[in-house]
């Protein structure tokens, strides 16, 4: 096929277009300030400072520090079936597909078409005007010719059309850059969802176990108080007291009994919350969460913190905020490219015949090729206002990034203070449990020696139960504080390729 002369003359223009520039600002990763140590950027008393080891890091599967196989099983099941995690994974798949669609915008578009049309032309249409001229000059029979031309006929068509808009100003490149940033943001949000899920499962499970321990010890306390009330009633019958003593015992006993239903309801709500996190119906985890030994305390983890600069690299929300800032910066370039001319290369090759047996004859061909240019002249300032809007969105994303970093340090400071304070409280409560246990042993020995009454043993027993109950609550608080620290520093466990289960769309989205 011969190339028309104007196509050759446009070659330098095409070469210049292919060497076009990329407009708009380039993204510069923001510098995340970090203190030299964990105590520099923290509020609170100096007694709440924790020891820091420069080479210490918390493991990504930090919940294993509790040495609880049930908790480990819950974490695995949550990763496989959590609705929140699957939703976040689908968002990643959607962003990946969108990225592929954006990349395709920079490639030529080729379309093929074919058709068979039965049609009739008008005898008085614009196409028959030539007949009037010919018949008027030659004296021919115009009506006969018009009727012959207007007879229905079948038109056969087929061909290829191709078009390519040259990325002269980097619009497609900036769009692809923004799509990559969106994908990075979705990936960071997936890591954030994984971290939140691990933290929520750990916190809810530890609170459930603490509630079960408090239920068991409340029942022990009720039994002890019932025994004491019986002894006081017997003393009153022997004339060693008044009915006021009985009323006081019954009032305290009823108050203790009234606290039990709330604890039972709290246990059910916490079990249901775990089921929701795992994508299970209420009651589905009853056998797994049944307390084997409700009085046994969970192992308490030790914490060792490395350099605080790791925070900027590990927090998923900070990575997501930076990705949003990157995407907003790239979209300024997309909007700026619309201010400049666009060049589009187009071409087509078609076959057309009203005879089926001659459709593929060389004489039935038609073709076209050449560039076209679109030059914006006046739009009332719409394009420039879009650029201004994208610049304001980029500034907003920068402010949001700064706020995210500040919130990160606030959250980790609060988590460290809370953990340190609860550790100190826990140590004091353990001393209290030891002391109350010694008091119970001493009261029991005095009762066996006939020095005191059994009421003193019951009172000592109730004091030990109460201190043990307080310690159980503190143990749960330490566990939840430990989970809060791991969440605050962004200690997100990695997601393996098969962790999301089937049908989440994560693998399909990358195809």
400-423 pLDDT, tens per residue? 999 999 898 888 888 888 888 888
Under 8 Å between Cβ of 383 and 9: no
Nearest to 395 by CA among 25, 95, 139, 62: 25
pLDDT for the residue numbered 302: 66
Say which range, 107-111, 120-124, 376-380, 452-456, has the weakest mean pLDDT.
120-124
pLDDT for the residue numbered 502: 41
Nearest to 415 by CA among 495, 311, 277, 497: 311
Spatial separation of the C-alpha atoms in residues 315 and 411, rounded to whole Å: 11
Under 8 Å between Cβ of 83 and 503: no
Spatial separation of the C-alpha atoms in residues 444 and 324, rounded to whole Å: 67
Cβ partners under 8 Å of residue 14, min gap 6: 166, 343, 345, 371
Cβ partners under 8 Å of residue 46, min gap 6: 39
Tell me which DSSP letter residue 496 carries.
Answer: P
Burial class (CB in 10 A: 0-12, 13-18, 19+), 269: middle
Which tens digit of pLDDT belongs to each residue from 212-269?
A: 998 998 888 888 888 887 777 777 777 766 777 677 777 878 888 888 999 999 999 9
Q: Per-residue pLDDT averaged across 444-460, rounded?
A: 83
pLDDT for the residue numbered 237: 73
Which tens digit of pLDDT belongs to each residue from 156-175?
A: 888 888 888 888 898 899 99
Dihedral sign for Cα 490, 493, 497, 499, please. Answer: negative
Spatial separation of the C-alpha atoms in residues 259 and 271, rounded to whole Å: 19
Set out the domains of the chain in order of their start, with CATH numbers: 5-10+37-106+167-340+376-497 (1.20.1600.10), 108-166+341-375 (2.20.200.10)
Q: Does 121 score more than 80 pLDDT? A: no
Spatial separation of the C-alpha atoms in residues 452 and 274, rounded to whole Å: 48
Report which of residues 141 and 169 the model is more confident about. Answer: 169
Q: Report residue 299's pLDDT band, with 50, 70 and 90 as the boundaries.
A: low
Nearest to 425 by CA among 435, 417, 413: 417
Each residue of 213-225: b (16+ CB within 10 Å) or e? Answer: bbbbbbbbbbebb
End-to-end CA distance of the chain: 38
Torsion of CA 82, 88, 89, 90, to 10 degrees: 110
pLDDT for the residue numbered 184: 94
Under 8 Å between Cβ of 54 and 201: no
From the CB of residue 187, how many other CB atoms can be counted at a distance below 10 Å?
21
Spatial separation of the C-alpha atoms in residues 350 and 363, rounded to whole Å: 11
Which tens digit of pLDDT belongs to each residue from 321-336?
A: 999 999 999 999 999 9
Q: Which two tokens stand for residue 477?
A: 């608080």
Q: Does 42 score more than 50 pLDDT? A: yes
Q: Does 508 score more than 50 pLDDT? A: no
Which tens digit of pLDDT belongs to each residue from 386-401?
A: 999 999 999 999 999 9
Spatial separation of the C-alpha atoms in residues 231 and 224, rounded to whole Å: 11
Torsions phi, psi of 267, nearest 5? -60, -45
Share of the chain above pLDDT 90, in %: 31
Q: Report residue 131's pLDDT band, with 50, 70 and 90 as the boundaries.
A: low
Q: Does 146 score more than 60 pLDDT? A: yes
Q: How far is CA 318 from CA 111, 390, 404, in A?
A: 44, 21, 6
pLDDT for the residue numbered 26: 92
pLDDT for the residue numbered 252: 78
Mean pLDDT of the chain, nearest integer:
82
Report which of residues 179 and 146 the model is more confident about. Answer: 179
The three-point CA angle 315-320-321 to 5° equals: 100
SS3 content of the chain, % helix, strand, coil (to 5): 60, 10, 30
Under 8 Å between Cβ of 485 and 415: yes
Indicate the pairing of strand 153-165 with strand 342-353: antiparallel
pLDDT for the residue numbered 275: 93
Under 8 Å between Cβ of 350 and 366: yes
pLDDT for the residue numbered 8: 44
Q: Per-residue pLDDT averaged across 131-139, rounded?
A: 60
Tell me which DSSP letter residue 305 carries.
Answer: B
pLDDT for the residue numbered 490: 86
Spatial separation of the C-alpha atoms in residues 110 and 160, rounded to whole Å: 7
Under 8 Å between Cβ of 386 and 335: yes
**pTM assigned to the model:** 0.80
pLDDT for the residue numbered 136: 58
């Amino acid at each position: 096929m011969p190339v028309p002369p104007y196509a050759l003359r446009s070659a330098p223009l095409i070469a210049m277009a292919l060497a076009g520039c990329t407009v708009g600002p380039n993204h510069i990763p923001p510098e995340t300030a970090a203190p030299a140590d964990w105590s520099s950027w923290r509020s609170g008393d100096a007694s709440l400072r924790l020891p820091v080891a420069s080479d210490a890091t918390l493991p990504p599967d930090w919940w294993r520090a509790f040495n609880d196989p049930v908790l480990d099983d819950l974490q695995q099941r949550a990763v496989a079936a959590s609705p929140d995690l699957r939703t976040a994974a689908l968002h990643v798949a959607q962003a990946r597909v969108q990225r592929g669609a954006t990349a395709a915008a920079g490639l030529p578009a080729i379309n093929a078409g074919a058709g068979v049309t039965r049609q009739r032309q008008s005898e008085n249409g614009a196409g028959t005007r030539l007949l009037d001229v010919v018949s008027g000059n030659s004296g021919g029979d115009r009506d006969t010719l018009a009727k012959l031309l207007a007879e229905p006929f079948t038109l056969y068509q087929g061909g290829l059309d191709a078009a390519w808009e040259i990325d002269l100003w980097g619009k497609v490149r900036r769009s692809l850059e923004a799509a990559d940033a969106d994908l990075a943001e979705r990936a960071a949000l997936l890591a954030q969802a994984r971290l939140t899920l691990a933290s929520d499962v750990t916190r809810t499970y530890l609170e459930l176990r603490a509630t079960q321990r408090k239920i068991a010890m409340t029942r022990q306390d009720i039994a002890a108080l019932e025994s004491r009330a019986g002894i006081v009633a017997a003393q009153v019958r022997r004339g060693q007291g008044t009915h006021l003593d009985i009323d006081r015992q019954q009032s305290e006993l009823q108050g203790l009994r009234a606290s039990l239903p709330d604890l039972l309801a709290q246990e059910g709500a916490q079990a249901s919350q775990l089921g929701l996190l795992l994508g299970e119906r209420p009651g589905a985890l009853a056998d797994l969460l049944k307390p084997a030994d409700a009085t046994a305390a969970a192992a308490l983890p030790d914490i060792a913190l490395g350099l605080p600069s790791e925070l900027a690299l590990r927090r998923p929300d900070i990575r997501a905020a930076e990705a949003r800032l990157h995407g907003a910066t790239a979209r300024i370039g997309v909007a700026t490219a619309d201010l400049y001319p666009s060049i589009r290369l187009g071409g087509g090759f078609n076959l057309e015949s009203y005879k089926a047996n001659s459709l593929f004859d060389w004489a039935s061909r038609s073709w076209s090729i050449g560039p076209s240019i679109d030059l914006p002249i006046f739009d009332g300032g719409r394009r420039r206002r879009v650029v201004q809007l994208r610049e304001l969105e980029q500034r907003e994303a920068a402010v949001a990034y700064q706020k995210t970093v500040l919130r990160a340090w606030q959250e980790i400071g609060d988590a460290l203070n809370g953990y340190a304070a609860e550790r100190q409280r826990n140590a004091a409560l353990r001393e209290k449990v030891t002391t109350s246990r010694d008091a119970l042993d001493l009261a029991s020995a005095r009762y066996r020696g006939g020095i005191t009454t059994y009421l003193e043993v019951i009172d000592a027993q109730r004091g030990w139960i109460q201190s043990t109950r307080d310690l159980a609550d503190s143990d749960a608080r330490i566990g939840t504080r430990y989970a809060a620290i791991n969440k605050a520093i962004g200690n997100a466990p990695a997601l393996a390729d098969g962790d999301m289960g089937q049908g989440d769309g994560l693998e399909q989205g990358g195809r």
